[in-house]
Amino acid sequence: MDLCDRLTDVRTRIEKAAQEAGRPSGRTTLVAVSKTFDATAIRPAIEAGQRVFGENRVQEAQGKWPGLRAETPDIELHLIGPLQSNKTAEAVALFDVIETVDREKIARAIATEMQRQDRKLRLYVQVNTGLEPQKAGIAPDDAEKFVAFCRETLGLSIEGLMCIPPADENPGPHFALLAKLAQRCGLDRLSMGMSGDYETAVALGATSVRVGSAIFGMR
């Protein structure tokens, strides 16, 4: 299969998983995760009609996306990796969506930069559903309070929740937990599911899945 076939295959599987779960079709956005791949590798995906992409490093994304966007202006770019506060200005300038808002300091920095640059990004709060010490994200028990802080204290509009389940666990319960937390926060968008588990995520209500290797190949 070439990249175009893999992309079609992923899109078909998303639709099939939605259908089997009794979810309406066309409600899940495919975020193609292009980290570690250069512009030459990404271009065929754009030519195949893909418009939403995810990157996990600000600096790496800065190296390739301004050029690709000059060719195709309607690209939507998601930051899916941890954001350091000294990179906030660059991130706010480059990305359309930040999926990894996970602490007060970074939420404040994003709010300040959006105001300074007069840009409004779409934001997701990352939840560490597995309470893994090495992983970013707010603890599940603190999610509701943190979302309220972002909204009420900082005036940020939070679009949804995002999670990355522990690699060695059944992801289903983590996706279900994220859905439950989102409901409590009055949020209806869920970014969950990667190459190995996106069909499970769709069945459990994902409104976007972040798929890298199943589209671009092994990193």
Residues that bind ligand PLP (CB under 6 A): 33, 35, 56, 80-81, 164, 194-196, 210-214
Q: Which CB atom, from 33 or from 150, has the smaller least distance to ligand PLP?
A: 33
Q: Which CB atom, from 85 or from 213, has the smaller least distance to ligand PLP?
A: 213
Tokens (6 digits) for 8: 């079609």
What minimum distance in Å lies between the beta carbon of 199 and ligand PLP? 12
Q: Which CB atom, from 28 or from 56, has the smaller least distance to ligand PLP?
A: 56
What minimum distance in Å lies between the beta carbon of 100 and ligand PLP? 8
Closest residue to ligand PLP, Cβ-based? Answer: 212
Strands (E), 166-214: 189-191, 208-211
Contact predicate 111/154, CB 8 Å? yes
Q: Which CB atom, from 185 or from 209, has the smaller least distance to ligand PLP?
A: 209
What minimum distance in Å lies between the beta carbon of 118 and ligand PLP? 28
Q: Which CB atom, from 16 or from 116, has the smaller least distance to ligand PLP?
A: 16
CA atoms within 13 Å, Cβ hemisphere of 115: 10
Which residue, 1, 3, 2, 6, is CA-closest to 198? 6
Rounded Cα distance between 77 and 160, Å, is: 16
What minimum distance in Å lies between the beta carbon of 214 and ligand PLP? 6
SS3 at position 77: strand
What minimum distance in Å lies between the beta carbon of 155 and ligand PLP? 26
Q: Which CB atom, from 56 or from 88, has the smaller least distance to ligand PLP?
A: 56
Contact predicate 83/98, CB 8 Å? yes
Tokens (6 digits) for 48: 């195949």
Contacts of 112 (CB under 8 A, 6+ apart): 88
Rounded Cα distance between 179 and 204, Å, is: 8
What minimum distance in Å lies between the beta carbon of 216 and ligand PLP? 8
